[in-house]
Amino acid sequence: MKSKITKGKDNLITYGIVLISYVIAQILISAGQMSYLLQGLLVPICVSVILAVSLNLTVGILGELSLGHAGFMCLGAYFGAIFTHCMKDIITFSPLRFFLALLIGAVVAGFFGFLIGMPVLRLRGDYLAIVTLAFGEIIKNVANALYLGIDRNGLHISLKDSLSLNLEEDGTVIIKGAQGIISTPRDANFTIGVILILITLFIIMNLVKSRDGRAIMAIRDNRIAAESIGINITKYKLMAFSLSAALAGIAGVLYSHNISSLVATTNTFGYNMSILILVYVVLGGIGNIRGSIIAAAILTLLPEVLRFLDEQRMLIYAIVLIAMMLFRWSPQIIAWREQHSLKNLLQKFKKTTSKKEVR
Amino acid sequence: MALLEVTNLSISFGGLRAVEDFSVSIEKGQLYGLIGPNGAGKTTVFNLLTGVYKPDEGLIHLEGKNITNLRTIDINKEGIARTFQNIRLFKNLTVLDNVKAGLHNRYHYSAIEGILRLPRFHKTEKIMNEKAYELLKVFELEGEADYLAANLPYGKQRKLEIARALATGPRLLLLDEPAAGMNPNETKELMDTIRFVRKEFDMTILLIEHDMKLVAGICEELTVLNFGKILTSGETSEVLNDSRVITAYLGE
């Protein structure tokens, strides 16, 4: 059994993996070796990674099952996009505008995380999963039914149709119900995406190794004991849950500023998406941040890379999912991995060389 | 004034009077034992003292302050720490982090300072590490500081739980069957540890125990519970020779 845990260098390796992947991608692009299809996937990968890492905070670090992560992403995506549309002519410097949109997306999603968390975090296990699932669906459906326009009098909201917004002549419709938001300025790019990944990692990995992170993990490991040593359960659950929601909001803003037409469907912000994010987390290893990054990146790439297989595409995707699951969780394979891990091989190598020296 | 003054504590679960009219007075520095057959309500008393259950009747005073209806975390802040009959460690945290979690309310910095790694984070963490190592040394656990708590042998897990409770800086320490599952050697070692803790930390200790050797060896006074009621209480030697106690509990 592995009894000592490694520390210190772990975080650096994680940052390193992200940075090296970024550099490799940039080299491939400038050398013209990356197809347009693949280039188009770079920002979605960043979105998936941020979502997976942030959900891991709820599922792995806090130990609560949330099935509504896509709902928080949806909030971030819509509020960020609305802000950008409103400010399109006022703030023309796009990096600043995008930064503010990110802030707004994060704050709104985080605030909703706080609101939902207040009553819901008193529930445990399956109940929390059910309520968050319902929350995600509600957000998606509201977004689908919403009409929003802007004119010189301000914002107009309607749940009927765009005519009932009663806009002045100079007004524009931002959200057109089920048609969603179209032609949001493409403020997001791969570099910003990678910076946001690094910020997310920085926040979560530093939080985990601090006083507050310890409290959160103590609650996960044993709620009763945590209470008995004076840790405020509600406060820390809310902190972790809202932070997780806020980071999902950031991922949403990144997402909405990278596509020409933002619509709320099951696959973008609904149940399917929430489950997909959970799949990243579970396959990458619950509580394992680096695993989440790798699983999210691979599983976002895979469907597109497998496109040449046409109809067999989702079949292969499912097989890869099963293979990853076995690789990650099967006891035999875990034992094999530990035996053949790089660290062990190095140690063996050191032992043999040091023996030789003694002789 | 007594450190802990409990008067007429009662609680019922449905029709069951789990604890009835429980009173006890523990002086500062005392090592007090609470014994009784299985199901007598001993752990329920601990849960009442630490706010896990709210009593139906009765009062709990800690150094004159009424703490009867406070929340568990506030009772801990007032100075009562406990261990559990079935060990409750933070299994996926290291031994060091378990103790540092116990220091949670004694050393502060905000989440922002922690995430941004501001100077106060480094300063506070350094002090916390020092304090935690001091405690681990007392329990001879400093060599296992980086191990996951789940991987410690049983006896050391018990010790770690006491170390974590002490880390919260209590005035009164409640030990729920600290010797459960230990062999005679480990029990003897534990007795020495408990004595040492009392001396070193100037601690008042209330413990539940089934091991009569341990109870007779270290407790100065005892209260015997039977079916939720106090059977008798007094000095250890007297209580253990009381014929009612022998029939109710020790047999023969």
pLDDT digits (tens, 9 = 90+) for A197-225: 999 999 999 999 999 999 999 999 999 99
Q: Considering only residues A323 and A15, tell me which one the structure prediction assigns the higher pLDDT.
A: A15
Q: Per-residue pLDDT tens for A268-277?
A: 898 999 999 9
Instruction: Give, in order, the Cα–Cα distances in Å from A38 to each of A247, A306, B100, B109.
Output: 25, 12, 47, 44
Residue A308 has pLDDT above 50, yes or no: yes
The pLDDT confidence band at residue A353, using thresholds 50, 70 and 90, is: low
pTM, two decimals, is 0.90
Q: Residue A3 pLDDT more than 70?
A: no
Yes or no, beta carbons of B93 and A214 under 8 Å apart:
yes
Give the pLDDT score at A359. 47
Q: Which residues of B touch A218 (CB under 8 A)?
A: 90, 93, 101
pLDDT band at A346 (very low <50, low <70, confident <90, very high): confident
| A347 domain-assigned | no
Q: Spell A168-207 as b/e; 16+ CB within 10 A means b.
A: eeebebbbbbeebbbebeebbbbebbbebbeebbebbbbb
Assess contact for A34 and A98: CB atoms under 8 A. no
Of B145 and A126, more confident: B145
The answer as to whether A325 is a domain residue is no
Q: Cβ of A212 and B114 within 8 Å?
A: yes
Question: Residue B123: its pLDDT value, please?
Answer: 96
Predicted pLDDT of residue A1: 36
- pLDDT at A320 (0 to 100): 82
The pLDDT of residue A151:
84
Asked if residue A348 is part of any domain, the answer here is no
Tell me which residue of A88, A53, A97, A61 sits closest to A251, measured CA to CA.
A53
Residues in chain B: 252
User: Per-residue pLDDT for A4 more than 60?
Assistant: no
A43 touches chain B (CB under 8 A): no
Is A131 among the domain residues?
yes
Contacts of A98 (CB under 8 A, 6+ apart): A84, A187, A188, A192, A253, A257
Nearest neighbour of A5 by CB, restricted to B89, B94, B100: B94
Q: Does A203 touch chain B (CB under 8 A)?
A: yes
**Would you put residue A153 in left (φ > 0), alpha (ψ -120 to 50) or beta?**
alpha
Q: Which chain A residue shows the shortest CA-CA distance from B51?
A: A228
CA distances (Å), A188 to each of A7, A106, B68, in order?
34, 15, 57
Q: Which residues contact A132 (CB under 8 A, 6 or more apart)?
A: A65, A66, A67, A68, A69, A71, A116, A120
Q: How far apart are CA A82 and CA A253, in angstroms?
A: 10
Answer whether A6 touches B (CB < 8 Å): no
Interchain CB contact of B17 with A (< 8 Å): no
**Could you state, in chain order, the average pLDDT of each consecutive group of 10 residues for chain B (252 residues)?**
92 91 94 90 94 94 93 94 94 96 95 95 96 93 94 91 95 93 87 91 92 88 91 89 79 56
Q: Which of B50, B94, B111 sits opposite A228 (nearest CB)?
A: B50
Q: Residue A310 pLDDT > 80, yes or no?
A: no
Return the higher-pLDDT residue of B246 and A100.
A100
pLDDT at A348: 74
**What 3-state class would DSSP assign to A31?**
coil
* B237 at A interface, C-beta within 8 A: no
**Does B209 lie at the interface with A, CB-CB under 8 angstroms?**
no
The answer to whether B97 faces chain A, any CB pair under 8 Å, is yes
Give me Rg for the CA atoms of chain B. Answer: 19
Domain holding A72: CATH number? 1.10.3470
Positive or negative, the CA dihedral A186, A187, A193, A199 is: negative
In a domain, A355, yes or no: no
Question: Residue ranges of the alpha helices (H) in chain A?
Answer: 9-30, 36-56, 69-87, 94-120, 126-145, 190-208, 211-221, 223-228, 233-256, 266-269, 271-284, 289-305, 313-329, 331-339, 342-358
**In this predicted complex, what is the ipTM?**
0.93
* pLDDT value of position A8: 60
How many Å apart are CA A175 and CA A82, to the nearest integer? Answer: 8
Residues of B in contact with A225 (CB under 8 A): 84, 88-90, 164
B136 and B156 in contact (C-beta within 8 Å)? Answer: no
DSSP single-letter state for residue B151:
G
- Closest chain B CA to residue A239: B111
Using the Cβ of B176 and the Cβ atoms of chain A, whether some distance falls under 8 Å is answered with: no
**Taking residues A102-107, what's their average pLDDT?**
97
Tell me if chain B has a CB within 8 Å of the CB of A267.
no
pLDDT at A336: 83
Calculate how close chain A gets to B62, using CA atoms only, in Å: 17
H-helix or E-strand spanning residue B96? helix B95-102
Using a pLDDT cut of 90, give the percent of chain A over it.
54
Alpha-carbon torsion B221, B226, B228, B232, what sign? negative
Average pLDDT (A93-108) is 94
pLDDT digits (tens, 9 = 90+) for A166-198: 787 778 888 888 888 988 888 899 999 999 999
Pick among A6, A62, A206, A211 to test the B interface (most B CBs inside 10 A): A211
* Residues of A (283-302) whose Cβ lies below 8 Å from B: 287
Tell me whether residue A313 is in a domain: no
As a whole number of angstroms, the distance between CA B34 and CA B231 comes to 11
Cα B36 to Cα B150: distance, rounded to the nearest angstrom: 30
Task: Report chain A's mean pLDDT, rounded to a whole number.
Answer: 88
Number of domains into which chain A is organized: 1
Instruction: Give A137 to chain B, closest Cα distance, Å.
Output: 31
Task: Tell me if A135 is assigned to some domain.
Answer: yes
Rounded to whole angstroms, the Cα distance separating A31 from B209 reads 74
CA distance A228 to B170: 11
A154 conformational bin, left if phi > 0, alpha if psi -120 to 50, beta if neither:
left
| A202 neighbourhood in chain B, CB within 8 Å | 115
Of A334-338, A355-359, B114-118, where does mean pLDDT reach its minimum? A355-359
Residue A56: pLDDT over 90: yes
pLDDT at A356: 57
DSSP SS3 for B32: strand
- Within a domain: residue A315? no
Residue of A203, A222, A287 lying closest to B115 (CB–CB):
A203
So what's the pLDDT on residue A337? 79
Q: Which domain holds residue A183?
A: 2-305
